[in-house]
Structure 1
Amino acid sequence: MAALVHNIHERELPVGATEVGRLVDRIGAADDPLWPVPAWVPVRFDRPLAVGADGGHGPIRYHVTGYEPGRRVELTFHPRTGLIGAHTLEVEERGPHACVLRHRLSARPVGRMRLLWPALVRVCHDTVIEHLLDNAERAVTGTVVHPVRYPWRARLAVSMESARVRGVPVPAAATLLHGSVDRPDLADAFALRVPPGTTTDPQDWADAVFRNPPRIVVALLRLRNRLVGPLGIEQGDASAFDTIARNEREVLLGTDAGHLNFRAGVLVEPDTDGTTITVATLAATRSRTGRAYLAVVRLVHPLVVRAMLRHAGRTTVAPWRSTAPVRTAA
């Protein structure tokens, strides 16, 4: 029988318990200020926070078995989660201007979780809770003295969850893209699903995809520029990805060259459970050289777009990769 796991994280905060308790009462709400989205799948319940509410985050499922507003939330794991026990988020008063926010887990791993807990789940759990405590500290003080550092296993878990790119039809909702190229010889699209809390500004995503590509794509573009010169094809630069038009949900980029016309649409479609980012491409050749060029590009184009979209997802979602704060929807 697996040993019982006792796991405690706590943070002293220089404010009264009532102020922190108001944050705890919003766990699982659409405006939850504590749970670290978009890095991790948000907590969701089937009803407002109360005893009996059922939900969880991703594959970790639990239901509310204890609730003292402003003080304590107890969540008991569903047996299918692989943990027999509960975890609790509680606020302990330490005077009129001080309190402790504490997360306590007491559970026995069973089934596959006996291997998953020490191999991966424990480090992810520790990282999530420390990030949650950071968010509490930031909410009441405006800053975090010692922000959580993501171990490699937690980085891997977030990256895998936030970078699943799939091929899709060119979306009908991409109204700026449709009709931007006459009789396209290439038309494809790739989509990425990201969790709630991620930016829904299409220009943010267009910049993340096309202005900050992964190193392998940068290397391929440099190689392309060296090879196409003798063929009379213009060398590409950043202007090929200039924004031509945009609306609330879509950005249209592209350029016209002697060998082909190129357009890319970045479409952002948010809903209650997350946001779908779709990068769609249209290209039409203008010469025999353009047709030969496109025949080669077809072989690598899907790999390049997938890599760029995957990298954008990781950079935008993963907190350790971001070079600037992610703007979230109002």
Structure 2
Amino acid sequence: MVLNVHERSLPASAAEVGRLIDRMGSPGDPLWPSPAWLPVRFDRPLAVGADGGHGSIRYHVTGYEPGRRVELTFHPRSGLLGTHVLEVEEHGPNACVLRHRLAGKPIGPMRLLWPTLVRVCHDIVIEHLLDNAERAVTGTVARPVRYPWRARLAVVVESVRVREVPVPAETLLSGSLPQPDLADAFALRVPPGTTTDPQEWADAVFRDPPRVVVALLHLRNWLVTPLGIERGDESAFDTIAATEREVLLGTDAGHLNFRAGVLVEPDADGATITVSTLAATRSRAGRAYLAVVRMVHPLVVKAMLRRAGRTAVAPWLRSVGRTSVRR
């Protein structure tokens, strides 16, 4: 069993701090250390029965006393059996203690991950949360310190995590090729302050790919020439149309037509960058070509988007944890 407790004495009334707790999971949550960590989100306003979590850690609300206490029970797939509780305890008219208590049993891979990585990240997340509470009621944090390297590494990995998503509907891309033979999309979350210009993202993804992708493109050109398929160049990624939030790129060739969309969707926690691809074959050679490309295409797009994300968030990553967490 794991019993992990963090608490902070605050020079504020329990009612004032309780109002901060009541905003858990809402846009602009004043306590959760976002954007360093993926935000807490629930499927409904905070109440018993609300289901959600942050990232891969999933839980549901099993107890809620407004202004006082929130109890969250882990889903077993999170790797923990148990609960974590955030509560405020009154210590006078202008003093209280904000406490987080986790009690649970690691299961499956979490039995190894908890002592090697997850515990460190959990401790940093909660101390950062307590820092945010202290800052909210006093305007400052008495003893801010740096993140340890394992927590910084986890933030870096999470900040460039790419996931497969449905191809967005009602976009410039969606009607550009009526009957595509290939259709996929991949998304990346970025923190506030990162550019939301879709043309900048399109250039970062398609004009500055990883070296291994450049090598694959050169290999592709060498292999397809004897088959009568045109050699590719940068014109394949020329902008065809654009809006404030989307750029459409692509080209038509003898073997297939290609379109790519870069969609930027800002929100209170940063933005989602989605790169979508459509391809429609025009010949037997095109169908054979696409059958081969389909096997490596997801890896290539994810690598390109991950590199663009890493470059875009690099200034923010250098500042993570330097002055925000109390040990």
Q: TM-score range by the shorter chain?
A: 0.5 to 0.7
Distance 1:301 1:100, change over 3 A: farther
The one of 297, 300, 313 aligned to 1:322: 313
Paired amino acid for 2:213 = V
Give a deviation string over 1:254-304, Cα, whole Å, max 9, x none: 2467886543223567999x968351223566xx9xx75874464135523
How far is the alpha carbon of 1:92 from its aligned partner? 8.8
The one of 250, 253, 271 aligned to 1:254: 250
The one of 5, 8, 21 aligned to 2:6: 8
2:28 is matched with which residue? Answer: 31
How far is the alpha carbon of 1:151 from its aligned partner? 1.9
1:190 is matched with which residue? Answer: 184
Where does 1:234-313 land on structure 2 (aligned, <5 Å)?
Answer: 236-237=233-234, 239-248=235-244, 250-255=246-251, 262-267=258-263, 277=274, 279-282=276-279, 295-296=288-289, 298-309=291-302, 312=305
1:42 equivalent to 2:42? Answer: no
The one of 82, 85, 100 aligned to 1:84: 82
Does the aligned pair in 1 maintain the 2:51–2:60 contact within 8 Å? yes
Paired amino acid for 2:301 = M
- State the TM-score, normalizing by the size of structure 1: 0.61
Whole-angstrom CA distance in 2 between matches of 1:295 and 1:135: 56
The one of 166, 170, 173 aligned to 2:170: 173
How far is the alpha carbon of 1:253 from its aligned partner? 0.9
Does the aligned pair in 2 maintain the 1:244–1:252 contact within 8 Å? yes
1:206 is matched with which residue? Answer: 202
Q: Any stretches of 5+ residues in structure 2 without a counterpart? A: 318-327
1:125 equivalent to 2:122? Answer: yes
Distance 1:241 1:9, change over 3 A: farther
Give a deviation string over 1:174-215, Cα, whole Å, max 9, x none: 444534x6x98x641222356797887654653453245344
Where does 1:140-159 land on structure 2 (aligned, <5 Å)?
Answer: 140=139, 146-149=145-148, 151=150, 154=154, 158=158
Distance 1:34 1:227, change over 3 A: farther
Give a deviation string over 1:226-271, Cα, whole Å, max 9, x none: 667898955623x542322123553201246788654322356799
Does the aligned pair in 1 maintain the 2:25–2:39 contact within 8 Å? yes
How far is the alpha carbon of 1:217 from its aligned partner? 1.5
What's the RMSD between the two structures over aligned residues?
Answer: 5.3
Does the aligned pair in 2 maintain the 1:210–1:308 contact within 8 Å? no
Distance 1:91 1:282, change over 3 A: farther
Whole-angstrom CA distance in 2 between matches of 1:240 and 1:115: 46
- State the TM-score, normalizing by the size of structure 2: 0.62
Whole-angstrom CA distance in 2 between matches of 1:130 and 1:313: 29
How far is the alpha carbon of 1:19 from its aligned partner? 7.9
How far is the alpha carbon of 1:107 from its aligned partner? 1.1
How far is the alpha carbon of 1:216 from its aligned partner? 2.4
Give a deviation string over 1:34-88, Cα, whole Å, max 9, x none: 43456655323465446x46444142334344443xxx54424358574435332
1:221 equivalent to 2:220? Answer: no
Distance 1:178 1:24, change over 3 A: same
Whole-angstrom CA distance in 1 between matches of 2:29 and 2:181: 40
1:59 is matched with which residue? Answer: 58
Paired amino acid for 1:122 = R
- How many aligned positions are there? 301
Distance 1:295 1:270, change over 3 A: farther
Where does 1:101-116 land on structure 2 (aligned, <5 Å)?
Answer: 103-109=99-105, 111-112=107-108
Distance 1:55 1:165, change over 3 A: closer
Paired amino acid for 2:314 = T
Q: Any stretches of 5+ residues in structure 1 without a counterpart? A: none
Does the aligned pair in 2 maintain the 1:205–1:266 contact within 8 Å? yes
2:325 is matched with which residue? Answer: none
Whole-angstrom CA distance in 1 between matches of 2:208 and 2:140: 33
